[in-house]
């Protein structure tokens, strides 16, 4: 009997302590901050409230750009203008949309439209640059230590796939989720249908996913998105004449999926 009473008292005290911790005032260093959203976020971070709660206080119209640079290329003189152009295209869907402060770029960082601008992309555009080099494939047969072929050759039996951009992108996206740096809206710039699993994973967890792809993208992949654009139009600045007709593109010219 005494043990039961002791257990009930400890439970009541535990619940009361949790209520006090949630309602007690927390000292927040404002440092001249007047934005109520920033003040609330700082307070929640100090209380260590779960990120699922903090997401409700974030900007609901912020959009993270996830850019597969090998499958969504631009002209060299367009690299730094891509972000403003993408934001202008998003605002044709909803004027409140804006790009967030975090952009993820994955792929070969030595591409001619990326390599000269790496410093500016990382420091001025707040981009996370992740190199995804092609690697040699190793035979996966038991007790076989041989390198069977470079990644550019046709596949062979017992071959272990090499690390490619979509796998690294998925790892980085999960990292952003755990660090609470991913906005509720995500724009995936890639024509590669291997990203379908990434799109589904984000949507299952309550994220809105947009896709920007070339006209050669598979219909099934593009159809997973909440809205889609043609990348070769979205990445360049819209002219005054095209603003009336550009609106969000749905990749209707995409070829049908392979029958095999």
> pLDDT: is 95 or 38 the higher one?
95
Cα gap 237→164, rounded to integer Å: 30
Tracing tokens 């998925």 back to the chain, one arrives at 170
Residue 42 lies in a domain: no
Residue 94 lies in a domain: yes
pLDDT tens profile 115-154:
999 999 999 899 999 988 665 555 666 667 665 555 444 5
Residue 191 lies in a domain: yes
**CATH number of the domain where residue 108 is located:** 3.40.50.1010
Of 1-5, 45-49, 100-104, 243-247, which gets the smallest average pLDDT? 243-247
User: Is the per-residue pLDDT at 22 higher than 70?
Assistant: no
Residue 18 lies in a domain: no
Helix orientation angle between 196-204 and 165-178, rounded to the nearest 10 degrees: 20
Mean pLDDT computed over 179-206: 90
213, burial (CB in 10 Å: exposed 0-12, middle 13-18, buried 19+): buried
Tell me what pLDDT residue 226 has: 93
Q: Which distant-in-sequence residues (6+ apart) come within 8 Å of 153 by Cβ?
A: none
How many distinct structural domains can be found in the chain?
1
Of the candidates 232, 235, 199, 236, the residue with the CA atom closest to the CA atom of residue 216: 232
Domain range enclosing 190: 59-135+161-246
**Helix (H) or strand (E) segment spanning residue 82:** helix 82-93
CB count within 10 Å of CB 255 equals: 10
């Amino acid at each position: 009997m005494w043990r039961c009473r002791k257990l009930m008292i400890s439970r009541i005290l535990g619940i009361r302590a949790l209520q006090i911790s949630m309602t007690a005032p927390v000292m927040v260093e404002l440092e001249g901050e007047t934005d109520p959203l920033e003040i609330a976020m700082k307070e929640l971070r100090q209380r260590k409230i779960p990120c699922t709660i903090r997401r409700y206080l974030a900007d609901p119209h912020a959009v993270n750009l996830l850019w597969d640079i090998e499958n969504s290329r631009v002209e060299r003189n367009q690299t730094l203008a891509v972000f403003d152009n993408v934001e202008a295209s998003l605002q044709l869907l909803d004027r409140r949309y804006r790009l967030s402060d975090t952009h993820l770029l994955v792929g070969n960082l030595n591409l001619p439209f990326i390599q000269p601008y790496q410093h500016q992309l990382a420091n001025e555009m707040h981009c996370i640059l992740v190199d995804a080099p092609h690697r040699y494939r190793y035979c996966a047969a038991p007790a076989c230590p041989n390198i069977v072929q470079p990644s550019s050759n046709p596949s062979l039996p017992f071959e272990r796939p090499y690390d490619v951009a979509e796998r690294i992108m998925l790892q980085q996206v999960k990292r952003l989720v755990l660090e609470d740096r991913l906005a509720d809206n995500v724009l995936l710039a890639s024509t590669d249908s291997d990203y379908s699993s990434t799109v589904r994973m984000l949507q299952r967890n309550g994220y809105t996913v947009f896709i920007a792809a070339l006209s050669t993208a598979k219909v099934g992949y593009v159809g997973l998105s909440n809205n889609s654009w043609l990348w070769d139009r979205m990445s360049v600045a819209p002219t005054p004449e095209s603003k009336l007709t550009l609106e969000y593109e749905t990749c209707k010219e995409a070829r049908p999926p392979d029958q095999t």
